[in-house]
Amino acid sequence: MKRILVPTDFSEQAENALKVAAMLAKKHDAEIYLLHMMEIPMQHIDPGAVKSDIPETLFFMKLAHKKFEDLMESDYLQDITVHETVKADITFNEIKESVKEYEIDMIIMGSHGASGLMEMFIGSNAEKVVRTSDVPVLVIKNEHSSFDIKNFVFASDFKNDNKETYKQAVEFAKLFDAKIHLLMVNTANHFITTYDARTRINDFISSEVFDNFTTNVFNDVSVESGILNFSAEIDADLIGISTHGRQGIAHFFNHSISEDLVNHAKRPVITFKI
């Protein structure tokens, strides 16, 4: 993990994410790409105008640069290479293009909580970041004085998920010497015996050499509740899930479980693209 992208609107939630990114950058000698995405009112602007040339764009870009300069004075960013990146639009494609352009290894973003990720992005762009990013997305909810992962819940159906996501989770766990708690949630509508569940989990992880894990089958009224309740029970530091592109993780979870978890979980959530 050498290049971290942090989308920001310079809000408190975005700074919480930046502080975590700074901790990881210092620990792993990584660089941070701070991406400020501006919403510029365009209703009174000539549709044929080039956004980068209009006065409103120039004003907001200068304002963003000033905020960036002020932020760089923060103690927690000292001795870290931070690149300033400003985009004159709020679109999901800008984030995807930035990931490719700067060869980003991970996105770290802030979330306000129950209102979802909409504090930072317009419409469903945040949901798209979580669901379809080709690199892991770490969503931070609160301020962390330290970011040390010891207990990492990896929730899956261990059937439809690509094993590559587990490999990514293992690599992330190794960065912290963390224990992975493999979790399958059993519900009344999709019941499976404990024996069959553990057999499926063991088969799923058989190709990955990693010994620091536990296997867990947890009964609950819904998959989301099961993940949240189990994570609370073991006081997990992080929840990890897989995403199936545009369909979210619908093969296993309800239609919007990835976004719901990000909204409802009090602890950080990391998503891995299948």
In order of start, what are the domains of the chain with their CATH numbers? 3-140 (3.40.50.620), 151-273 (3.40.50.620)
Interval 64-87 mean pLDDT: 88
For the chain, the three-class secondary structure string (H helix, E strand, C coil) is: CCEEEEEECCCHHHHHHHHHHHHHHHHHCCEEEEEEECCCCCCCCCCCCCHHHCHHHHHHHHHHHHHHHHHCCCHHHCCCCEEEEEECCCCHHHHHHHHHHCCCCEEEEECCECCECCCCCCCCHHHHHHHHCCCCEEEECCCCCCCCCCEEEEECCCCCCCHHHHHHHHHHHHHHCCEEEEEEEECCCCCCCHHHHHHHHHHHHCCCCCCCEEEEEEECCCHHHHHHHHHHHCCCCEEEEEECHHHCCCCCCCCCHHHHHHHHCCCCEEEEEC
Is the pLDDT score of 247 beyond 50? no
Interval 223-252 mean pLDDT: 78
Residue 57 has a pLDDT of 64
Instruction: Name the residue with higher pLDDT: 217 or 90.
Output: 217
Is the pLDDT score of 13 beyond 50? yes
Indicate the pLDDT class of residue 129, thresholds 50, 70 and 90: confident
Highest mean pLDDT among 5-19, 114-128, 165-179: 165-179
Residue 120 has a pLDDT of 40
**Mean pLDDT of all residues in the chain?**
81
Interval 239-259 mean pLDDT: 57
Interval 64-77 mean pLDDT: 88
Is the pLDDT score of 173 beyond 50? yes
Is the pLDDT score of 113 beyond 50? yes
Where is average pLDDT lowest: 12-16, 90-94, 103-107? 90-94
